[in-house]
Amino acid sequence: MSKSKSLAAVAGVGISLAFAGSAAAQGTPSGQPTPQTRQDARETKELERGGAGAGQDASEGQSLKIPQPTAPRQPSPTTAPPAPAEGAAPAGQTTPQTRQDARETKDQERSPGASKDATEGQTLRPPQPTAPPQADPKNSKTFLPFVYGPLEQSGMKAASREGSPTTYLLSATPATTQWGWFDNAEQPVLRIRSGDTVVMETMMHSHNQLVPGITIEQVKKTRTDYPGRGPHSLTGPVYVEGAEPGDVLRVRINKIVPRAYGMNFNIPGLFGQFPKEFPEGQIKFFYLDLEKMQTEFAPGITIPLKPFPGTVAVARAEPGRYSSVPPGRFAGNLDIRELSEGASLYVPVFVKGALLWSGDSHAVQGNGEVNLTALETAYKELNLTIEVLKGQRLEWPRIETQTDWITVGYDEDLDKALDLLKAETTKFLIEQRNVPSERAEQAMLDGWNCPISEVVNIVKGTYCMISKAADAPRPAPLPTQDTDEAFVTVARDARLGKAMDGASMAMINTIVEKKGLSRLDAYGLLSMTMDCRIAPHREGDKAVHCMVPKNLWTK
């Protein structure tokens, strides 16, 4: 459903506050359990603890189905709850329908076909129509006035010289964002021409609900109560005139200005690289010093900032709604930290107008993003210049920085991602240097500089950086033990995923033992700062080297 239709459906009613709650069902005093509610609670706990496979896959979010309506959420202290529907369950209690939804979601996650194609994803089940909540326009506690969109494009133009490309100002509002999904039928919030610049804002996760003060229990509910969608708030889509399937879209990042705060969190026992090893949850908030471009993780630990958008995406070819979590040929949640100011993303176009979104805004991220999150923030300004390139075809996205070209390999299986990465890198070198495949493969190994971008987005990522300089020296061998500059851990295995697990866990233990951090703090710090790289590989066991800079510790 388009935003214009969905907003029109509730025009004149207004928007109830985000966390409006419900009175207890008829005949049951509020807060008093019954035999049925106690049974519901036990079943819900089983799901959350990992019963029936919960937390089995270290991924950012897997279920791809929008659930049926459930009991309303608990009210905030300043929100007056609306009257419950006839027969509604008390707030916080599950119903037979919600338990069935949870079982169906788990079945989807376990089924062999649920993740068969890492590039196509799966459509979400459309939500069933429900009666709009009744709000009293005269009561400011239950009714928030809202200007129903879409926004007028002429008012989004910045002043510019006649004949020059146009700059557009795209704010992040309920009318210009979606929470956690892509849909190629979504109505554009802005139309531009090739060469125009878009200065967009982005939101924090879950439609700006993940802000300082939210608890880890509330964060968890934004995922478990809304299975099927990702956590990301996505600004867009932007329609680019002249973009057709088969073209390439070039998205240059001119400038990034984050908000003054960010957060990192571990959702207990559900996601991240090690959900079973970290059943406890934690959330930490940070002040971002944008003058010094750094943040203090803890007294004596300072992290340099390097902002980049975790997600820049065009629409998929397939119709329907898709979770924003897994990346693919359309780019999306690539989590490649080199895609920062001055870099350009080249991505194949699959639908007319391309339809461009951005979100999942990061202040800094480690390679691997091991605890699920980077230093998550939102952008006051993400300044993009967007061009349509005709006559150029790509199978997978590429990135250009001032010094390197970047090729990618993404798949649910990290070994298959590595195979794809090698094929894409060899193909690029054949095209760029006009050499046969044997020489291109050797050049790839000679210049091998290939990190693991993330292992938490269902579809896991690898990438190679290829120097633009023809006479660039061969990269130094990866260290195998601690150096003056970095803590180092190494693991080898026939499976790349197991090697990554081994090197990451060894680094967590190293930081706990040598620097005295708690395990949860070490997990979070590494998710924002660790650099995990694949050793040059032709055949046999694969090795992963993980490094953490020692200069993070200033005392």
pLDDT at 209 exceeding the cut of 90: yes
Contact 344, 336 (CB under 8 A): no
Mean pLDDT of 288-306: 98
Give the pLDDT confidence score for residue 478 in this predicted structure: 98
Residue position matching structure tokens 């020692």: 550
pLDDT in tens, 23-65: 333 334 444 444 444 444 444 444 344 333 333 333 333 334 3
Taken in order of first residue, the domains within the chain and their CATH numbers are: 153-401 (2.60.120.580), 403-475 (3.10.28.20), 486-552 (3.10.28.20)
Mean pLDDT of 309-320: 98
Mean pLDDT of 289-306: 98
pLDDT in tens, 336-366: 999 999 999 999 999 999 999 999 999 999 9
DSSP codes, 242-260: T--TT-EEEEEEEEEEE-S
Can you state the angle between helices 96-110 and 35-49, rounded to 10 degrees? 20
pTM for this one? Answer: 0.77
The Cα–Cα gap between 78 and 380 comes to 28
Q: How many CB atoms lie within 10 A of CB 141?
A: 16
pLDDT in tens, 123-150: 444 444 454 455 566 666 666 666 666 7
Contact 344, 426 (CB under 8 A): no
Give the pLDDT confidence score for residue 382 in this predicted structure: 98
Give the pLDDT confidence score for residue 555 in this predicted structure: 83
pLDDT at 513 exceeding the cut of 50: yes
Give the pLDDT confidence score for residue 13 in this predicted structure: 33
Return the amino acid letter for 143: F
Residue position matching structure tokens 């601690």: 482
| 3 state SS of 196 | coil
- More confidently predicted of 524 and 143: 524
| 3 state SS of 73 | coil
pLDDT in tens, 72-125: 444 343 343 444 443 344 444 444 444 444 444 444 444 333 333 444 444 444
Mean pLDDT of 222-249: 96
Which H/E stretch holds residue 503? helix 496-515
Give the pLDDT confidence score for residue 162 in this predicted structure: 82
| 3 state SS of 41 | helix
